[in-house]
């Protein structure tokens, strides 16, 4: 009986110590705290304790040490509410501007600046005009705000007169509720920088291409075919056409000019005198025609070499290939009528 009593006593004391050190007080109302820049673990613990968010400063410091998170705690305004464990609080602080002070943005693969501008405006972040000033061709003008993009190495081989459309990586982002356009663009560019690995950059150089070339090609591939498995094949066909001096002859580049989404261009559209008319002008278009995702970027870097020269998207949504013009015309008759 004495042994059982001692065990119960030790267990009770252990639980009591755990609750005191690691337990989180019940919040009667949302608690809002501000963690200043440069604050250390001890100062952050004091702030949380003063707001009755933690029971023990030592417990917080111990958990941060165990999680090796001392250098990951980020400054910002945080709003805590509900039943949160000490571990939950540490997780929020290491994410920076935690989930309670953020909103989620989803940028769709293939979207251009116009699409992104419309979406962000609906989310309460800037206007289309402001986005074009920061990311479009207007950014080549002596705009102080645009200079923050100069630090990204992957932008160095693009012409100065070209904006950053094509590099605004499509993904889901968490941003502060009061985020500015510059903050969102910065996240997109940082994401592009992370997704385009050193190996991919080295392979681009070995192929004698530039990142700007690849982004332009990827933006076309993104628009031309929806299915991931088709993209390396399409990229292979288009690079091959460029290699032999053949026009790309893709509808997506003209749709970029007209703002249309036509599967088949009209005769009048085919006569448009624009460098984006890849039926009339050879080579890649002057700029990317959208913001490609990782699948299209990888396809542009690692194309699949085949005997095909032609392709089309059938009414059933599938992609059909032809080795000769005759085969291509047969596919037109079979799958587009």
Can you give the CATH number for the domain in which 67 is found? 3.30.1490.480
Residue 22 pLDDT > 60, yes or no?
A: no
How far apart are alpha carbons 26 and 60 in whole angstroms?
A: 16
Answer with the one of 158, 173, 195 that is the final residue of a domain. 195
Answer with the one of 195, 220, 246 that is the final residue of a domain. 195
Same domain, 12 and 51: yes
Same domain, 39 and 80: yes
pLDDT recorded at residue 283: 96
Main-chain phi, psi angles of 172, to 5 degrees: -100, 130
Same domain, 138 and 92: no
Number of domains in the chain: 3
What the block records as the tokens of 291 is 């913001």
**Could you report the per-residue pLDDT of 165-222, keeping only the tens digit for each?**
999 999 999 888 889 999 999 999 999 999 999 999 999 999 999 999 999 999 999 9
Same domain, 9 and 91: yes
Residue reference for tokens 């998170």: 69
pLDDT recorded at residue 254: 92
Answer with the one of 51, 72, 96 that is the final residue of a domain. 96
In a domain, 314, yes or no: no
Residue reference for tokens 């591939």: 221
3-class secondary-structure state, position 320: strand
Please, what is the average pLDDT of the chain? 86
**Could you report the per-residue pLDDT of 76-106, keeping only the tens digit for each?**
778 787 777 888 888 888 876 555 567 889 9
pLDDT recorded at residue 38: 86
pLDDT recorded at residue 173: 94
In a domain, 295, yes or no: yes
Same domain, 163 and 262: no
Same domain, 107 and 57: no
In a domain, 334, yes or no: no
Question: pTM (2 decimals)?
Answer: 0.72
Q: What percent of the chain has pLDDT over 90?
A: 52
Q: 314 in the Ramachandran plot: left (φ > 0), alpha (ψ -120 to 50) or beta?
A: beta
In a domain, 337, yes or no: no
Higher pLDDT, 33 or 106: 106
How far apart are alpha carbons 156 and 205 in whole angstroms?
A: 14
Could you give the C-alpha distances from 63 to 6, 68, 83, 181, 294, in angstroms and in order? Answer: 28, 8, 18, 36, 37
In a domain, 333, yes or no: no
Estimate to the nearest angstrom the gap between the alpha carbon of 99 and the chain centroid: 19
Residue 237 pLDDT > 70, yes or no?
A: yes
Same domain, 119 and 167: yes
Contact 209, 154 (CB under 8 A): no
| Closest residue by Cα to residue 308 from 212, 239, 247 | 239
| Closest residue by Cα to residue 284 from 248, 337, 325, 233 | 248
What the block records as the tokens of 335 is 């799958």
| Closest residue by Cα to residue 237 from 308, 297, 181 | 308
Same domain, 244 and 202: yes
How far apart are alpha carbons 135 and 181 in whole angstroms?
A: 10
Same domain, 295 and 209: yes
pLDDT recorded at residue 13: 39
Residue 19 pLDDT > 70, yes or no?
A: no
Please name every residue paired with 21 in a beta bridge, in sequence order, or none if there are none: none
Q: 54 in the Ramachandran plot: left (φ > 0), alpha (ψ -120 to 50) or beta?
A: beta
How far apart are alpha carbons 135 and 128 in whole angstroms?
A: 10
In a domain, 336, yes or no: no
Q: 317 in the Ramachandran plot: left (φ > 0), alpha (ψ -120 to 50) or beta?
A: left
In a domain, 315, yes or no: no
**Could you report the per-residue pLDDT of 257-296, keeping only the tens digit for each?**
988 776 677 777 888 889 999 999 999 999 999 999 999 9
Rounded to 5°, the CA angle 233-297-264 comes to 55
The boundaries of the domain holding residue 189 are 103-195
């Amino acid at each position: 009986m004495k042994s059982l009593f001692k065990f119960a006593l030790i267990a009770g004391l252990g639980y009591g110590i755990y609750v005191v050190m690691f337990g989180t007080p019940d919040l009667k109302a949302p608690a809002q705290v501000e963690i200043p820049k440069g604050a250390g673990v001890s100062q952050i613990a004091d702030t949380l304790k003063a707001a009755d968010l933690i029971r023990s400063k030592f417990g917080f410091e111990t958990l941060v040490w165990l999680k090796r998170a001392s250098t990951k705690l980020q400054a910002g305004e945080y709003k805590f509410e509900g039943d949160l464990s000490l571990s939950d609080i540490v997780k929020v602080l290491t994410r920076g501007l935690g989930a309670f002070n953020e909103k989620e943005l989803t940028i769709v693969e293939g979207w251009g600046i116009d699409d992104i501008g419309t979406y962000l405006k609906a989310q309460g972040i800037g206007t289309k005009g402001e986005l074009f000033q920061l990311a479009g061709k207007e950014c080549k003008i002596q705009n102080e705000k645009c200079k923050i993009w100069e630090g990204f190495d992957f932008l160095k081989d693009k012409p100065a007169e070209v904006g950053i459309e094509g590099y605004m990586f499509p993904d889901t982002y968490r941003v502060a509720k009061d985020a500015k356009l510059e903050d969102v663009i910065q996240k997109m560019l940082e994401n592009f920088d992370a997704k385009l690995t050193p190996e991919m950059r080295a392979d681009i150089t070995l192929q004698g291409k530039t990142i700007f070339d690849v982004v332009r090609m990827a933006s076309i591939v993104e628009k031309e075919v929806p299915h991931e498995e088709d993209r390396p094949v399409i990229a292979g066909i288009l690079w091959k056409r460029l290699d032999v001096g053949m026009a790309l002859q893709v509808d997506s580049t003209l749709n970029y000019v007209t703002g249309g989404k036509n599967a088949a261009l009209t005769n009048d559209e085919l006569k448009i005198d624009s460098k984006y008319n890849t039926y009339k002008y050879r080579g890649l278009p002057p700029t990317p025609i959208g913001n490609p995702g990782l699948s299209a970027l990888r396809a542009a870097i690692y194309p699949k070499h085949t005997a095909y020269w032609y392709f089309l998207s059938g009414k059933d949504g599938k992609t059909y290939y032809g080795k000769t013009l005759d085969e291509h015309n047969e596919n037109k008759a079979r799958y587009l009528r």
